[in-house]
Amino acid sequence: MKLLFKYLRSMRGFIALTLTVKAAGSLIELAIPYILGHILDYVVPERSVEKIVFWGAVMIVCALLACLGNITANRMAARVARNTTRKIRHALFDRTMRLSSRQIDAFTIPSLESRLTSDTYHVHHFMGMSMRMGIRAPMLLIGGIIITLTLDWVLALVMLVTLPLIAISVTVISRKGVPLFKQTQRSVDRMVGVVREDAQGIRVIKALSKVDYERRRYDTANKQLVKDEKRAGTTMALSNPLVTFFLNLGLVAVIVTGAFLVNGDLSQTGKIISFIQYFTMISNAMIALSRIFVNASKGIASAHRIAEVINTEPDLEVLPADSFNAPERDPALIRFEDVSFSYIGKSDNLSHVSFELKRGESLGIIGATGSGKTTLVQLLMRLYDVNEGSVRIGGRDVRTIPHEELNTMFGVVMQNDFIYAGTVRDNIDFGRGLDDDTICRALEIAQAAEFVGGFDDGLDHHLNSKGTNLSGGQRQRLLISRAIAGDPQILVLDDSSSALDYKTDSKLRKAIRENMSDVTTVTVAQRVSSIMHCDVILVLDEGKIIGKGTHEELLADCDVYKEISDSQIGGAFLD
């Protein structure tokens, strides 16, 4: 709830006005049954048409004012809920974008997606209902009780006997509801995860005839969600029937007691009718409060999940420049010094990795799947922090470089990079305001100019989400164009040419060497041909460097590298 109060605070003046309008409408609404009783007991017996018309008009005016007040307040409440949810959603999205890779791993992508969608919806619904009914229902309840006590204290006591039973049942049910709805949202996370994975891999699923298998996997997650929703819904569904049952008992008791009072000339008919009207009003108020408690269970559970993300402290803080001993002059642009790292803190994914790379040089990284190639690149860009050792760029530890400065040093193409729905220009520019000459130069270097020029609308050609209307090689060349266009100091290509043929790959590497000679290049590849011309080549195995040097040096000194080279390049020559 602290989260909601934090974002509602900026609108407290408008909220106060909304609540005032709502309260005024509720007070006027409370007067209507009283006027009805007055007409029946005191005006009708006088047989004065003028007085009946007058008091009838007063009732109509009160009804119209109450209606107008409620409509106005409801619109104002909707505005508060809408604007506050927009701020919460924006803050949640902003914080999500700033989470470190380790924090994203902890929350998981599907969970973050459901927090941004279904959880913010539940919070929005809860705030809107609370603003609409949170004042009206208590006022009708308390005001109705006070007025009924003044009308007939005996009937009021009969009615009040049922209220504690209602309050206890609603409280007990609501306390059970919050953890149940939290569990339901966790099940939503799991189902979103399955949907997300299947949507990304739909072509592979169809190609391998695994549609039925994935349908069963989705069905398992869906059944678990239904089970959790049923448990939460069944528990919260007890609220309305219990409230209605107790209220109906009270209504029956009031009618029977009132009949005896009227029959004994101890009360008046109009007073009894007014009392029943107030009792109905109190009943509706209690039902509305029970609905608020149901939505509060969802809203509070969702607010807690949202707050978990928003209140997550940054774990990649920029440290003071003097936090680590740095050489006065470091000839290397990139330096890894005895770096060890583990994702989960058990076994090292990288162990005692050391190397250096001068400005303008190129580094190639090769090794088996899971050997730590991408991990090394992620440490270089400080997507994670090292457990031991240090990573330096230009003599500065990456932990001391401001994120904005560090990020602009790199042009990156990752293994699972993305293309969003938009034009070729938009995807390469990526919101950086690049001119067409810069974009065209990047396309030329990345060997993408030819196929982009073949589009009738050129740079304005529309691309589907994930680039589904491009081939794999075309997608990779566009992604490389995006990385090159930003004029980076360090170009990172993480398995970014796997879909290119050998000729195009060779032309790409040659173009990068000729046009970006002052740019330091880090290439992660599975093919020896993609890295054989690099100044330094690292051979990784189970997170350790088992070979380091040039292509010729590794052929002579590293059996693993020689075996890879012979199996790839040797095979190509034989063909």
Rg (CA), the chain: 35
Q: What is the per-residue DSSP string for 503-532?
A: HHHHHHHHHHHHH-TTSEEEEE-S-GGGTT
3-class DSSP assignment, residue 320 = coil
The yes-or-no verdict on residue 571 having pLDDT over 50 is: no
Per residue in 491-535, pLDDT tens? 999 888 877 888 888 898 899 988 998 999 999 988 888 888 899
Of 38, 48, 53, 55, nearest to 269 (Cα)? Answer: 38
**pLDDT at site 178:** 67
Write the pLDDT tens digit of every residue in 439-496: 999 999 999 998 888 888 889 999 988 888 888 888 889 999 999 998 899 999 988 8
Query: Per residue in 388-442, pLDDT tens?
Result: 999 999 889 999 999 889 989 999 988 777 888 889 999 999 888 889 999 999 9
Q: Is the pLDDT higher at 253 or at 353?
A: 353
Torsion, CA 66, CA 71, CA 76, CA 81, rounded to 10: 120
Helix (H/G/I), strand (E/B), else coil: 497: coil
Q: Which of 274-278, 336-340, 361-365 has the lowest mean pLDDT?
A: 274-278
The order of strands in the sheet holding 350-357 is: 350-357, 334-341, 388-393, 396-397
Task: Report whether 110 contacts 117 (CB < 8 A).
Answer: no
- Round to whole Å and give the CA distance between 426 and 461: 10
C-alpha 573: how far from chain center: 52
Q: Is the pTM value of this prediction over 0.75?
A: no
pLDDT attached to residue 574: 36
**CA pair distance 128, 29, nearest whole angstrom:** 21
Phi, psi at 177, each rounded to 5°: -70, -40
The Cβ of residue 204 has, within 10 Å, a number of other Cβ atoms equal to 10
Determine the Cα angle at 156 with ends 150 and 158, to 5°: 160
Token pair of 378 as six digits: 């992620």
Helices within 311-417 (DSSP H only): 373-380, 403-408
Q: Tokens 């009914």 sit at which residue?
A: 133
Please report the domains of the chain, with CATH numbers, ordered by start residue. Answer: 2-189+229-310 (1.20.1560.10)
What's the CA gap between 373 and 527, in Å, rounded? Answer: 13
What is the amino acid identity at position 352? Answer: H
Q: Per-residue confidence at 356, pLDDT binned at 50, 70, 90?
A: very high
Residue 541 pLDDT > 80: yes
Q: Which amino acid is at 92?
A: L
DSSP annotation of 358 reads -
Residue 214 has pLDDT above 70, yes or no: yes
**Mean per-residue pLDDT, 87-109:** 89
**CA 396 to CA 486: how far, in whole Å?**
22
Residue 78 DSSP class: H
pLDDT at 461: 92
Q: How many whole angstroms separate alpha carbon 197 and alpha carbon 190?
A: 11
**Confidence at 196, pLDDT banded by 50, 70, 90:** confident
SS3 529: helix
Q: Do residues 420 and 500 touch, judged by C-beta distance below 8 A?
A: no
pLDDT at 328: 65
- Non-local CB neighbours of 553 within 8 Å, separated by 6+ positions: none
Q: Which residue has the higher pLDDT, 34 or 398?
A: 398
* Averaged pLDDT of the chain: 84
Query: Can you say whether residue 443 is alpha, beta or left, with left for phi > 0 and alpha for psi between -120 and 50 degrees?
Result: alpha
Tokens 């005896």, residue?
260
> pLDDT tier at 377 (50, 70, 90 boundaries)?
very high
Q: What is the pLDDT of residues 120-132, one digit of tens each?
A: 988 988 888 888 8
